Amino acid sequence: MSGAAGPASVDVDDLVRRIRSFIADVVLPVEDAHDGDLAAAGGDGLRRELQQAARAAGVFAPHAPTEYGGFALGMRDRNRPFQAAGYALFGPTALNIQAPDEGNLHLLDRVATPEQRERYLAPLARGDVRSAFAMTEPHPGAGADPRALATRAERVDGGWRISGAKTFITGADGASFFIVMARTSGSPGDAGGATLFLSPADARGIDVGRHVPTIDRSMLGGHCDVTFDELFVPDDGVLGEVDGGMTAIQVRLGPARMTHAMRWLGAAMRAHDVAVAAVGERDLFGHRLGDLGLAQQLIADNELDLASSQGLIERACADLDTGADASLSTSLAKVHVAEAVGRIVDRSMQLCGGRGMSRDLPLARLQAEVRPFRIYDGPSETHRWSVAKRVLRGSRDGVAPSDRLLGAAGSATGSAAGAGR
């Protein structure tokens, strides 16, 4: 495995200030003019324009390895910059930190061979191309449970032949390459037997089909059906180890959940800002709306959700940065943030009354964007089940919840929470 480049010397506070200025001056005017529809605003052409502007502002790809012009920020240092970028729905695309590219970059930086880094990671980090991660399948295939993986890769002379159907593959239309998860041994339902493969998108045997119609509009390339029909991948296209895919995806999934949380929390911050400004200006029943107790409760509840979300993200990122088992902390953060951002935007809409339902304010489109987070990257119910399973396993191993929460369990906590999705 190739390691990440060492972190660059960067003042994160200054970086956040510069990102916020860039978002306010460059990104939000374009986003607001097109009601948050990235394809209608110019698609890949706009992406390239915004990314060039981000380079000029010195805020492009803060997570990328230094060898490709990034700052190599660790997970904790990504937190506030990613939130600042997420304040605009187009912001992550402008900074080249949007899903699925950001998660794919993270995976490639840690798993790819030197040749794979040059062919796939380098152009992705520079923003020259987009990518897609093909794991999710139509029912009853892989989804919330990747062990249901049904797409198969068969060994042939010089490589592998991959056949199967995928769905909801974000960014597939227009992607330059795919990371494909396929079964190389065992049967659907088995915990092992998966392998990750790299393939150019124009390879024979890849068919990008329809865009699944969804309520979110800020990710380029849609959420697509993709069919693999006897796709040939040479041996040097194996990413990581054969049959080691379930382990390799853990390198990607935990960090990607947290960067999703960071970005969407930034969107919730914008909703909160819009609502607080609105109630400060509006009079109702002879009082300023912001002076009424019910409005103040909604504002306070938003602050509580924002603060608790930041804290849980910070805790999970600390685990990821130190190499601790982050399965529990990332699931906790994912569930809480996914649900908190929905509450924040909903309360903000309520505070703004009829205008909150209109296109005069960005709240309606923000609600459409954040709602899918309770499903994407694992439904809240799946993560709750995972959390409870780990806590109960710890109890059977003699680790009480209070031991873990107060830090008295030591390494026993990590071993008790060892099983991943």
Q: For residue 352, what is the domain's CATH number?
A: 1.20.140.10
Whether 215 is covered by a domain: the verdict is yes
What's the chain's Rg over C-alpha atoms?
22
Domain boundary among 208, 243, 278: 243
Domain boundary among 243, 271, 295: 243
Only one residue has tokens 């951002």, namely 341
Same domain membership, residue 152 and residue 292? no
Query: What's the number of domains the chain is made of?
Result: 3
Whether 421 is covered by a domain: the verdict is no
Whether 418 is covered by a domain: the verdict is no
How far apart CA 296 and CA 298 sit, in angstroms, is 5
Helix axes of 363-370 and 327-351: crossing angle, nearest 10 degrees? 160
pTM of the model: 0.92
The pLDDT value recorded for residue 384 is 96
Joined together, the tokens standing for residue 75 give: 């997970």
Same domain membership, residue 105 and residue 175? no
The pLDDT value recorded for residue 421 is 30
User: Per-residue pLDDT tens for 392-412?
Assistant: 999 999 999 998 888 754 433
CATH number for the domain including 233? 2.40.110.10
How far apart CA 247 and CA 415 sit, in angstroms, is 16
Same domain membership, residue 206 and residue 118? no
Same domain membership, residue 368 and residue 256? yes
Query: By the 8 A CB rule, do 83 and 263 touch?
Result: yes
Torsion of CA 213, 38, 208, 369, to 10 degrees: -40
Query: By the 8 A CB rule, do 361 and 270 touch?
Result: no
Same domain membership, residue 39 and residue 117? yes
The pLDDT value recorded for residue 286 is 74
How far apart CA 61 and CA 7 sit, in angstroms, is 13
Joined together, the tokens standing for residue 274 give: 């819009």
Whether 106 is covered by a domain: the verdict is yes
How far apart CA 193 and CA 310 sit, in angstroms, is 36
Whether 420 is covered by a domain: the verdict is no
The one-letter amino acid at 412: A
Same domain membership, residue 399 and residue 252? yes
Same domain membership, residue 209 and residue 163? yes
Same domain membership, residue 251 and residue 386? yes
Whether 174 is covered by a domain: the verdict is yes
Same domain membership, residue 304 and residue 161? no
Same domain membership, residue 252 and residue 236? no
Domain coverage including residue 17 = 12-126
Same domain membership, residue 284 and residue 398? yes
The one-letter amino acid at 219: M
Whether 185 is covered by a domain: the verdict is yes
How far apart CA 296 and CA 368 sit, in angstroms, is 25
CATH number for the domain including 41? 1.10.540.10
Domain boundary among 77, 102, 126: 126
Per-residue pLDDT of the chain (421 residues), as tens digits, is 444 444 547 899 999 999 999 999 999 999 999 999 999 999 999 999 999 999 999 999 999 999 999 999 999 999 999 999 999 999 999 999 999 999 999 999 999 999 999 999 999 999 999 999 999 999 999 998 999 999 999 999 999 999 999 999 999 999 999 999 999 999 999 999 999 999 999 999 999 999 999 999 999 999 999 999 999 999 999 999 999 999 999 999 999 999 999 999 999 999 999 999 999 888 777 788 888 889 999 999 999 999 999 999 999 999 999 999 999 999 999 999 999 999 999 999 999 999 999 999 999 999 999 999 999 999 999 999 999 999 999 999 999 999 888 875 443 333 333 333 3
Check whether the bond before 81 is cis (ω within 30° of 0): no
Query: By the 8 A CB rule, do 240 and 108 touch?
Result: no
Same domain membership, residue 380 and residue 269? yes
Whether 7 is covered by a domain: the verdict is no
